[in-house]
Amino acid sequence: MLPNKLIDAATWAGTTLRLYQRGDEFSIRVDKAGELMNSRAHHSEDVLAELACRMIAGRENPCLLVGGLGMGFTLAAVLSHTGADARVEVAELIPAVVRWNRDYMGGLAGFPLRDARVHVHELDVGLVMQARDHFDAIMLDVDNGPSSFTCDDNDALYSLRGLKRAHDALKSGGVLAVWSASEDAAFTQRMMKAGFEVKEHRVGSHKARRGNRHTIWTGVRR
């Protein structure tokens, strides 16, 4: 078996992220919390984008926001499900993650950051969502979902206040899609309270229906 090779490490807000490579496989690990993401398992991230894009299909010049770049799989899926007239904004809080996508991992998802439709903000996605009635779809894949652990500040993103901000940032009939490693009934209720018509989806981390089951919420702005 090939060994894991440490490629790079970066500390942000007191948390250290490490990028590892084993053959063609990459993983990002976080301090004592362990593995945050692995390039072998990204089916549910692909579905996150597919669901959101399908729900706004037919809109002209759509503007979409991806919160959390990760390994670029969600972004790549958005690009594959939208046309040439789309504008896709990406908010990634940790600059090292953007750099790793450009320098090491771009080939995993087909180099999505090179697409002319993509505009990257090295900012908290909550700040990007301050624009009102701006986005047709917002996809959030930050930390491990509502039960965050990389940064405590991400709790505010999934709070009622954060969800209302997302609601206001969407155009009428716009879609909020949220990825989570686990189920969370309280989060479903918060989305509804924030003004969304909510559906919950259980999706495997692998297309072959093996591995962990993840949760995706889709909410339409009423």
Residue 125 falls inside a structural domain: yes
Classify the C-alpha dihedral 109-111-113-116 as positive or negative. Answer: negative
Percentage of residues in the chain having pLDDT higher than 90: 76
pLDDT tens-digit readout, 80-96: 999 999 999 999 999 99
| Order of all β-strands in the sheet with 5-12 | 5-12, 15-22, 25-30, 34-38
Structural domain harbouring 151: 41-221
What is the domain count for the chain?
Answer: 1
Give 37's strand partners. Answer: 28
Residue 140 falls inside a structural domain: yes
pLDDT tens-digit readout, 161-197: 999 999 999 999 999 999 998 889 999 999 999 999 9
- Mean pLDDT, residues 28-50 taken together: 89
How far apart are the C-alpha atoms of 205 and 202, rounded to whole Å?
A: 10
Enclosing H/E stretch for 100: helix 95-100
What pTM was estimated for this model as a whole? 0.92
Residue 30 falls inside a structural domain: no
CATH of the domain at 177: 3.40.50.150
**Tokens 């995706």 -> residue:** 216
The torsion region of residue 211 among left (phi > 0), alpha (psi -120 to 50) and beta comes to: left
pLDDT band at 153 (very low <50, low <70, confident <90, very high): low
pLDDT of residue 52: 98
